[in-house]
Amino acid sequence: MPDALTFGLFSMNMDACSYPESAARIARLAETAGFDSLWAGEHVVLPDPQVPPSMMVPEERMLDPLISLTFLAAQTTTIRLGTGIIILPQRNPLVLAKELASLDALSGGRLIFGVGVGYLEPEFRALGIPFADRGPRTDDYLAAMRAIWTQDKPAYDGRFVTFAGVQAHPQPARLPIVTGGHSPGAYRRAFEGANGWYGFALDLAGTARILADLRDAASRHARPPDLGELEISVTPRGLPDQDDAARYAELGVHRLILMPPAGLDESRLTDYVSAAGDALIGRV
């Protein structure tokens, strides 16, 4: 069981937090309340009309996660900043690597890079990115980004990315990578090259099933020793009480990233963050 369960706050680029004054106040409140991290999701575009499996209506406000987190970095001092998640195959990997390294530098090393492969085919189609190869493209892009971040003479020759004879500074000293997804490929990606794994909208039973799958995957995939233990983050369904939070920790979860109900105005979101801080943080 993890030594201590920490708590993040999701939706920091949506609803009330898609407006600057509210976002700044909620971010500072979360930091004061003891949350360890703020998280922002991503959809560049949304299907219109809404089609499964999209969980968002087309008109829902969602700011770019990196721009939002850069703004929030300037409003806070210690709380970490996570992308939950960036849809990596939709991005240019070297441009994204520069953006992430810049935000990590400006925030004093507080960034967590959460990455996923995406699941909305209409979004990929609108961006001109083949939906079918999103998994291999994600692997290739991650490898290319690690090369530009870590190598003295960066070079990479992959299926989708090739470069040599270039530099990009600053190189982040340590930028944690967190991957999502429930497929065998996602589990392999987590164990072979990520610091953490992130599961979204999971109850206790669903978390237990997936952690069992992750333990099985651990027996089949080599994990580089320098990555250490795989950190598990979960967004639960609803707001857990102390007992449920303790059960998540007993299952092996390190961080619960709380997602407020959709559509809260700033006043009700303030109440949610304050209540969660009082009920959970420091009590589990």
User: Residue 267 in contact with residue 251, Cβ under 8 Å?
Assistant: no
Q: How many Cα atoms occupy the beta-carbon half-sphere of 217 within 13 Å?
A: 20
| Helical segments of the chain, H only | 20-33, 65-75, 93-106, 121-127, 134-150, 184-193, 204-218, 242-251, 266-280
Q: What is the CA radius of gyration of the chain?
A: 18
What pLDDT does 3 receive? 66
User: Residue 258 in contact with residue 274, Cβ under 8 Å?
Assistant: no
User: Residue 234 in contact with residue 253, Cβ under 8 Å?
Assistant: yes
pLDDT in tens, 233-264: 999 999 999 999 999 999 999 999 999 999 99
pLDDT in tens, 79-117: 999 999 999 999 999 999 999 999 999 999 999 999 999
User: Residue 52 in contact with residue 96, Cβ under 8 Å?
Assistant: no
Q: What's the one-letter identity of residue 20?
A: P
H/E run at residue 162: strand 162-163
pTM, two decimal places: 0.97
Residue 283 binned pLDDT confidence (cut-offs 50, 70, 90): confident
Q: Round the average pLDDT of the chain to a whole number and report it.
A: 96
Residue 5 CA to residue 57 CA, distance in Å, equals 33
Q: Which domains does the chain have, with CATH numbers?
A: 6-280 (3.20.20.30)
To 5 degrees, how large is the angle CA 36–CA 39–CA 44? Answer: 170
pLDDT in tens, 192-225: 999 999 999 999 999 999 999 999 999 999 999 9
* Statement: residue 33 has pLDDT above 70: yes
Q: To the nearest 10°, the Cα dihedral for 97, 102, 104, 106?
A: -170
